[in-house]
Amino acid sequence: MSIGGIIRRKSRWTWITLLDLVYPRTCVRCGRLCNGAGEVFSCRNCRNRYEWITDPLCECCGSPFHGLIESKALCSACEAMPPAFSRARSLFLYSGTGARLIHALKYEKGTWLQEEISSILIRSGKWNEYLDGGVLIPVPLHARRFRKRGYNQAESVVGAIKDAFPSTRIENCLIRNRMTPSQTLLSREERFRNMRQAFSCRGSPPSGRLILVDDVLTTGATLNAAAQALLVAGANDISAFTLAHG
């Protein structure tokens, strides 16, 4: 990191410390005061209830395998219907503290959780190779949904990555073409059909190592549709990153 970057980060943390005196931090999961070492918006107990995703996992979508495998492998879903992105990775499973963070981020105007996310990325120490220097492309909301919610949670995740890895670049090059019905009760195949041509790319895709960013990967249908839009526009190899998987 450059000297200027270090100074900016120290100034930001000084301002945050002053804010803490006026608005004490509380844990996103249990509501307890966060004042211990390393606590941001999850206390020590609740941070231990993130279910981090580790090897072994699907080489494509990042879904964790249970038990040991002898070599690199794809999950059955990616073998049956390979996605348009080359690989996706996620921080944690959609359960425990991770599920609570996602809910707050998505439905409770939880843009303040950006600092929690960047703290996790920095403390983990394993995301430099995957994220550092990448071109971050947030998955967009439809304009109508954006007006209703007031923000895009994927942009908060992108902001957290930028805070953790200042060498990344943000490009809002995707457009959501239509409102898609809720995917909650749909099968994987139905979700992929539901998202078909849901996105388009403004002009040519940006140069660099493209990383699509969203909050959750469930079946991968949304990320797949976004990746297809980039491929149609001329991109070659697309990765993806989400906070949660499940």
At 104-143, the pLDDT tens digits run 999 999 999 999 999 999 999 999 999 999 999 999 999 9
Residue 87 scores a pLDDT above 90: yes
Residue 180: both structure tokens together: 């898609």
At 174-193, the pLDDT tens digits run 999 999 987 888 888 999 99
Distance from C-alpha of 244 to C-alpha of 95, rounded to nearest angstrom = 9
Distance from C-alpha of 81 to C-alpha of 170, rounded to nearest angstrom = 29
Of all residues in the chain, the percent with pLDDT exceeding 90 is 80
Residue 148 scores a pLDDT above 80: yes
Please state which CATH number belongs to domain 50-245. 3.40.50
Of all residues in the chain, the percent with pLDDT exceeding 70 is 89
Domain with CATH 3.40.50 in the chain: 50-245
pLDDT at 183: 83
Instruction: Give the global pTM.
Output: 0.89
